[in-house]
Amino acid sequence: MPFVDRRQFCATTLSLAFVAQAFVGKAGSAPAPAPLRIPVWIADKGPFSFIVDTGASRSALASHAASALGTSWQPGEPVRLTTPAGNLDVPTIPVGHMRAGGQPLAIQRLPVLPRLALTTADGLLGADAFVGAMLHLDFRAGRVQLSAARELAEQSPAVPLRREAGGLLVVDATVGSRVVATLLDTGSLDSVASPALARLDAAREETPLRGADGALLASSPATLPAVAIGETRWPPGPVRRANLAPPPGVRAPPDGAALLLGLDRLTEFEWLAVDYLHGLVQFSPHRGGKE
């Protein structure tokens, strides 16, 4: 199974897989929101600290964590990461069995990422770990719950999602006056938009984004129009503007419009719930009742 990089736009959607692991903050800005983590056990060893990354098509292990498993392993069944900097083949490691929190995972092998790509955590938990499950992210309490799918609580309306390449779930968002397929990405600190959506802001400092291969992606500070997903709304605000190419075999919209909503926008809410079995997402009200 190919490893889809979240900077690749899947059919009008992005899947920028490890922009987050740049975790490059803006100079002089307030501290960036921290990605949520979940304890993971691999073959009864752990816990390992994995970042919950809804923008990655596959879960992955950091090279230092592979060494910490204490067993010698031979690279096998390599997978290909496609990034703006080119293709990169990475080895995989057999994991026997895994669980995240108390939830068993049907994952047999994990890609092992280069050291530059993942230095602040032991791994990433991506879409292959969430198949048929319910993912509840409590941003205020800093907690993650992964469990068997169940009906969403009736606290706020649920919005339908659709499954794209690599099992990523994408939602239609209204950006300004147009509808754009959008990836909700808990692995990315910053929201990222294609040039078709974002207006350049020369007054803000330029910051690079790092990809799954450790390479940097050029991006520019910009302003994104108001965004709405169902009844959930964000006012105009800052965004990273970058070229987001479609993956092989996927047709992009004529102007390449693509949007990734990262933690800078998602953490404006107390919590986010994603039903991967039925393809639904639910947002809490804005923190403090803000609209």
pLDDT at 16 (0 to 100): 40
pLDDT in tens, the chain (291 residues): 444 444 333 322 233 443 433 333 333 445 667 889 999 999 889 999 999 998 888 899 998 898 888 765 666 678 776 554 456 678 888 888 899 988 999 998 888 887 767 778 999 999 899 999 999 999 999 999 999 887 777 667 889 998 776 677 888 899 998 888 888 989 888 898 988 898 876 655 666 666 555 556 678 889 999 999 998 999 999 998 887 655 444 456 777 788 889 999 999 999 999 999 999 999 987 665 444
By three-state DSSP, how is residue 20 classified?
helix
> Helices in 69-206 by DSSP H: which ranges?
none
pLDDT at 286 (0 to 100): 67
Residue 183 sits in a domain whose CATH number is 2.40.70.10
Q: Which of 209, 204, 210, 208 is nearest to 224 (CA)?
A: 204
pLDDT at 287 (0 to 100): 63
Q: In total, how many domains does the chain have?
A: 1
Beta bridge partners of 60: 124
By three-state DSSP, how is residue 27 classified?
coil
Helix (H) or strand (E) holding 87: strand 86-94
What distance in Å separates the CA atoms of residue 175 and residue 227, rounded to the nearest whole number? 5
Helix (H) or strand (E) holding 117: none
Q: Hey, what long-range contacts does 47-51 have (CB within 8 A, 24 or more apart)?
A: 48/122, 48/123, 49/121, 49/122, 49/123, 50/100, 50/121, 50/122, 50/123, 50/124, 50/125, 51/20, 51/21, 51/121, 51/123, 51/124, 51/125, 51/187
Write down the pTM of the prediction: 0.83
Domain range for 164 = 1-291
